[in-house]
Structure 1
C-alpha cells in the first residue's frame, strides 16, 4: 500500500508540472500566443494553491479515504476536460479544476502518518516525498516527448487514464479512517489564516518558499519556449530530458533533512538561497546557444532544482516544529503561499520573457531571491542573540548554589 500511495503522490504532483513542457505545442495547436498557452500552467498552479487552502483542511474533518477518492475522480474529469478542450478558455477551466483537486499528496501525508508506528513515520513520509519528486521529474520528462509524438492532448488524456486506474486500486486498498476533528469547515479555514497572522516563523517560511518557487516556476515555464525557439530549435522532448536532471534532487533532499536536524533550518535556507542566485548566473549563459549554452542550462536547472527542494525541507521543518497538534492547518497556510508564489512566477515569467527574453527571466530570479536573502541575513543574528540571551539567563539560574 505504501508503494501505491507513493505513486499516487507522484501522479498528483506530476499533474501540476507536466503542462510546463507543452506550452509551445499548446500555442501551436490552439493557435494562440505562447503567453496565452502559459496561462494553462499558471491556471493549474493557481488551482492547486486554492485546493490546498480550501480542500486539504477537510482531511481533519472527513475520512481520508472518502476525501482522497472524491479528489481523484474530480482530477480525472478535469484532465479529460483539458485534453478535449477546443479553445483556450476551456483548457484553462480544465486546468483550474485539475489544480484544485490534485492535492492528493497533501491528504496522503496525514493519512499515512496515522497508519504507522511513531518509529516508522519519518521513513514513510520520506518515501512519499520521494514519490512526489519522482512524479514531478517524470511528468516533465515524458510529457514533452509524448506531446511531440502524438500531440499536446495525449499527455492530458494519458494522465486521466492513470488517475482513474489509481482510483480503482485505492478503492480496494485504502482502509477506513475516522475524522480527527469535529470543527465546522469555516473554522478550519479560519484557523489556517489565523496561524498565518500569529506565527512569525510560519510567515518567514512562506516568504522564503514563495519567492524561490516563483523563480523556479518562471524558469521552467519559459525554458520550453527557449529550447523550441530560434536559439536552439529543439523539440519539446528536449525539455523532458532537462527534467531528468532533477533526479539528483531525490538524493539531495534526505541529506538536507539530516543537515536540518543537526544545524536547524536557517543554515540550509542560507545555502539554498545562495544556490538559487548562483543558478540564475549560470542559467544566463543559456542565451549564447550552441553546446556551451546547453551545458549552462543543464547545470543551472540542476542547481535551481536542488536549491528549491532542499529549501522546502528546511522551511517545512521550521513550520512543523511550531504546533504539532495543528500541522495540517500549518501546512495548508504554508503550501498555499508557496503555490501562489509559483503561479505568480509562471505568469510574470512568461511576460518577462516576451519583453526581455531569457536574460530577463534570469534577472527576475535574482530580483525575487535577493530581498529574502538580505532579510534572512539581517534577522538571523538577532535571533541568535535572543537565543544566547535566553541561554545565559537559564544558565545563570542553573549555576546558583542550593539554598
Structure 2
C-alpha cells in the first residue's frame, strides 16, 4: 500500500464518516423547510445513527467473506443513491427513511480499517491506522462546517445533494484504483448465514472486546448527546446563531487530529488502560466546562468551544485505545471484531442522542451536560485496572 492509496482510503473514511455527522448542522433548517419543530427534526440525526449501527452489524462482517473492493464500491454507490433520495424527500417521514438507508450503507470506514490492518506490515499498522483515523476525524469536523454553510446559503437539500454526488464519484474512483489484492477474503470458509452471529459470539467469548465496546459506548453516548443538542442551543433564543455556527465550533476540533497519533504512541508504550482512564476524566471535565454554556454570552460561547474540543479529543483518543485492545485478539476475525465493537459503540451513540434530546426538552442544556458526566461511570473500572497494573509492576 503506497502513500497515494492510503491517502485515498483516508479520504474515503472522511467522506463516509462525514455523512453520519453533517445532518447535525442542518436539522434546524430541515425543521423550517419541512414545517416541523427543531426538536422533532433532530430525529433525522438519530435515524442516521441507528441506520449506521444496523449497517455495521449486518454488512461489516461481510468483510471476512467477500472481496473488499467489490463490497466497498457497492456500499458507496448505494450510499450515494440514498443521499440523493434524502435530498428529494418531501416530508419528514421520507427523510427519516432515507436517513436510515444512508446510515446502513455508509459503513465503508468500518471496512477499511480491518482491510488495511491485513494489508500492511505490523510495523506500519499504527501509522496507517492513525492516518485513517485522522481522515475520519477530519470528515466528522468538516462535514458540519460544509453542511452548515451550504445549507444556510442554498437550503437543507443542498448538502445531501452534493454529498450524494461526491460519494458516487468516489465509488467510481475506487472501482478503478483499489487493487485486486484487497479481494482476498479473510475467512473464506465462514458460511454467509453465520456472519451476523459471529460478532455476538465474539462479544460473548472475548472479555476484552466487551470491555472496549462498553467503554466506547459510554464515551460516544456523551459525545452524541452533546453534539445533537448543541445545534438546538446555538440556534435557539439564548445564542440566536445560524446553522453555520455549529460547523465553526466543530472546526476547533481539528486539534484532535494531532492528538490521536500521540494517544497511539502512549498505548504502544503503556497499554490502553491509562489512556482510557484519561479519556473518561477528560470527558467529566468537559461536561463541567460545557455547563457554563448555559449562561450564554461570550463566556458561554468560549466554554462551549473549549468543552467540545476536550470532549472530541477524549472520544477519539478513547477509540484509539479501545481498537488497539481488541485488534490484538484475533487476526482472522478483524471485521467481525470491529462489527461487535462498533455496533455497541453506535448503539451507545444513538441512545445518547435520544436521551440527550429528552433531557434537553425537560432540563435544557444542563440536563445534557449531566448526562455526559454520568456516562463516565466506567472510569471506576479503569481506575481499578490501572491500579492493579501498577501493583503488578511494583
Please tell me the TM-score bracket, short chain as reference: over 0.9
Distance across 1 between alignment mates of 2:172 and 2:258 = 31
**Larger-gyration structure (1/2):** 1
CA contact (8 A) 1:47 1:100 kept: yes
CA contact (8 A) 1:38 1:346 kept: no
- Alignment partner of 2:288: what SS? helix
CA contact (8 A) 1:35 1:351 kept: no
In the alignment, which residue of structure 2 is the partner of 1:361? Answer: 368
In the alignment, which residue of structure 2 is the partner of 1:244? Answer: 251
How far apart are 1:377 and its partner, in Å?
2.4
Distance across 2 between alignment mates of 1:37 and 1:128 = 32
In the alignment, which residue of structure 2 is the partner of 1:217? Answer: 224
- Alignment partner of 1:55: what SS? helix
CA contact (8 A) 1:38 1:347 kept: no
In the alignment, which residue of structure 1 is the partner of 2:161? Answer: 157
- Alignment partner of 2:184: what SS? coil
Cα deviation code 1:258-281 (max 9, x no counterpart): 111111111111111000000000
TM-score w.r.t. length of structure 2: 0.95
Greater than 6 Å deviation, 4+ residue runs: none
Aligned length: 387
In the alignment, which residue of structure 2 is the partner of 1:232? Answer: 239
Distance across 1 between alignment mates of 2:6 and 2:383 = 40
CA contact (8 A) 1:202 1:334 kept: yes
In the alignment, which residue of structure 1 is the partner of 2:150? Answer: 146
Distance across 1 between alignment mates of 2:185 and 2:211 = 30
Taking the TM superposition and a 5 Å limit, the aligned residue runs for 1:113-192 are 113-176=117-180, 177-181=183-187, 182-192=189-199
How far apart are 1:179 and its partner, in Å?
1.9
CA contact (8 A) 2:88 2:157 kept: yes
In the alignment, which residue of structure 2 is the partner of 1:401? Answer: none
How far apart are 1:171 and its partner, in Å?
1.5
How far apart are 1:172 and its partner, in Å?
1.1
Cα deviation code 1:174-227 (max 9, x no counterpart): 122232222112322222101111211111111111011011001001101100
Asked whether 1:11 is paired with 2:15, we answer yes
How far apart are 1:383 and its partner, in Å?
6.1
How far apart are 1:117 and its partner, in Å?
3.9
- Alignment partner of 2:332: what SS? helix
In the alignment, which residue of structure 1 is the partner of 2:58? Answer: 54
- Alignment partner of 2:241: what SS? coil
Asked whether 1:35 is paired with 2:39, we answer yes
Question: Could you list the runs of 5+ residues in structure 1 that have no partner in the other structure?
Answer: 392-403
Distance across 2 between alignment mates of 1:195 and 1:241 = 40
Asked whether 1:374 is paired with 2:392, we answer no
TM-score w.r.t. length of structure 1: 0.93
Deviates more, 1:107-116 or 1:154-163: 107-116
Deviates more, 1:265-274 or 1:322-331: 322-331
Distance across 2 between alignment mates of 1:304 and 1:193 = 29
In the alignment, which residue of structure 2 is the partner of 1:104? Answer: 108
Cα deviation code 1:289-316 (max 9, x no counterpart): 1111111001000000001111111111
